[in-house]
Structure 1
Amino acid sequence: MRLVKRLFLFLLVVFVAPALAAIAWWQLGEHPSSWRDADWSSSGLLAEPQDDPEAAIYVMAARTGGLKGALSVHSWIVTKAAGASSYQRYDKVGWGSPVRRNGYPADARWYSNLPTVVRKISGGEAERLIPKVEAAIAAYPYGRPGDYRIWPGPNSNSFVAHVLAAVPELGAKMPSNATGRDFAPGFASVAWLPGTRDLHATLGGYLGFSAGITSGLEMHFLGLVAGVDITEPGLKIPAFGTVSLSGVAQAATGGDGDTAE
């Protein structure tokens, strides 16, 4: 009984309390009442494609809509061939044909929320990797109508996680608050990903952990992630994302700091 109480207290402090705090923070802001009222226009974050002749790959994310926006981001992939006059955007969505191509402007707001660039690759490396990214997108196993489940997946973040796992040369880490990124088929799954040197284990996407060079150390509970980032020192706080420890240290000493994800 004492062990059960300790486990309950651990889950309450590490996962539930931050999630409730995120929900309270989210409720203080102004958000569209429905997708019809939301702003889906370009944010201006990316340069006009004709102004940049180099090939490019972007992994992007923005807070999603409704109450789930307090807990998770929506992520997508953008590519641009060398000399191309347009971007190619790929999302997985929950209506119609799940994997959408150019359903929205490349850097569009998502439910009125501004996007961020999680990872950018440009030049010759992007040119080399674009065919691999497109092949991974085409091979996504949940790309048919009906192949979408908002939680625990497969959802939009499961799609991007699939591409990043298939093309580890991208060197991208998904935001820790990208709910659905740890989805795996079946009830119990254990996988070693040599490309990212990570071990992933999950019970239906509801409970699990990750450990390795890319993941750091993570615990997963009902889609929430808590842990530490090793390569880019930071704390992974459920619902909030990753807080850079270097940024905290710089702020404490009077320097400039950033908050990741």
Structure 2
Amino acid sequence: MKTLALNLRRLLLILGFLLTGPALATMTDEVSLDRSWRTTSPASAGIAPDPATTPEAVVQVYGARTVRWRGAFAVHTWISVKPEGAANFTTHEVIGWRFWQSGNALRQRQGSPDRPWFGATPELYAELRGEEAATAITQIEAAIATYPFTGEYKTWPGPNSNTFTASIARQVPALALDLPPTAVGKDYLGETRFLASAPSGTGYQLSLFGLLGGTLAVEEGLEINILGLSFGIDPLDLAIKLPGLGRIAATAG
């Protein structure tokens, strides 16, 4: 009985440690427990360039806190592209309700790429313009066509929207995408793949079903994944990465 009680105490301590960040995140303005689709606006947040005055090709990667209690843990991410001379952005993303309705999680939509996600203001994670963006769009389209999890979706540990964004980013080196620790699912590689390049393309990651693993890369720094929650340190940006709270940098920027 003493051994059982000791093991239970250790388990509770570990769970408490993992959940501290998400619990603190609920106290910030980023997380709202009462958001729903009714709070979603199709209007631009003013981050993306206007296609009417931006003829060059553009690629942008966004993320925003997901809805209700899940926002304490995770963001939803998406990739938007605008070829040279195009009148609109096309946004590519994976959405759970689409999978549950049709069996295909992938969605494409036209319009503002930076519209709020269930009322949460998006954050720009990466951007390319001009010839670099034009090359990346070709790579993105090829990566989407071969994305292996369109017929699968799991909120945790993946495959989900962040699995999709990370998978595409691995095939577009110019993005050098460093997804935040709140992009739960970014470390999911599948049931038979355990080693891959980091999403930024600047290092490597080891992952066991998205539940346990690590990443070592120039852009990401060092990250440890425990039960889908990421802890890390980014020496180049003098930042730490915590579940729920995201990236905390020593200086703004």
Aligned to 2:40: 39
Structure 1's 28 and 140: CA in aligned 2 closer, same or farther, altered over 3 A? closer
Aligned to 1:111: 118
SS of 1:112's equivalent in the other structure is coil
Where structure 2 has 5 or more consecutive residues not aligned to the other structure, the ranges are none
Measure the CA separation in 2 of the matches of 1:78 and 1:122.
12
Is contact 2:31–2:71 with CA below 8 Å preserved after alignment?
Answer: no
Aligned to 1:229: 234
Please say if 1:66 is aligned against 2:68.
yes
Is contact 1:108–1:115 with CA below 8 Å preserved after alignment?
Answer: yes
Measure the CA separation in 2 of the matches of 1:60 and 1:216.
20
Measure the CA separation in 2 of the matches of 1:29 and 1:66.
6
- Which 10-residue stretch deviates more, 73-82 or 98-107? 98-107
- Which 10-residue stretch deviates more, 222-231 or 68-77? 222-231
The Cα offsets for residues 135-193 of structure 1, whole Å up to 9 and x where unpaired, read as: 1111101123xx11111110000000000111122211112210100001117723355
Is contact 1:79–1:88 with CA below 8 Å preserved after alignment?
Answer: yes
Is contact 1:58–1:117 with CA below 8 Å preserved after alignment?
Answer: yes
Amino acid at match of 1:83: G
Q: Residue 129 of structure 1: CA displacement?
A: 1.5
Is contact 1:188–1:201 with CA below 8 Å preserved after alignment?
Answer: no
Is contact 2:177–2:200 with CA below 8 Å preserved after alignment?
Answer: no
- Which 10-residue stretch deviates more, 148-157 or 163-172? 163-172
CA RMSD in angstroms comes to: 2.7
TM-score, normalised to structure 1's length?
Answer: 0.83
The count of residues paired between Structure 1 and Structure 2 equals 243
Q: Residue 214 of structure 1: CA displacement?
A: 2.6
- Which 10-residue stretch deviates more, 215-224 or 192-201? 192-201
Is contact 1:14–1:226 with CA below 8 Å preserved after alignment?
Answer: no
Measure the CA separation in 2 of the matches of 1:30 and 1:68.
9
The Cα offsets for residues 202-249 of structure 1, whole Å up to 9 and x where unpaired, read as: 22211221112232111112221111013322110111111122x1xx
Which of 35, 52, 55 is 1:53 aligned to?
Answer: 55
Is contact 1:235–1:242 with CA below 8 Å preserved after alignment?
Answer: yes
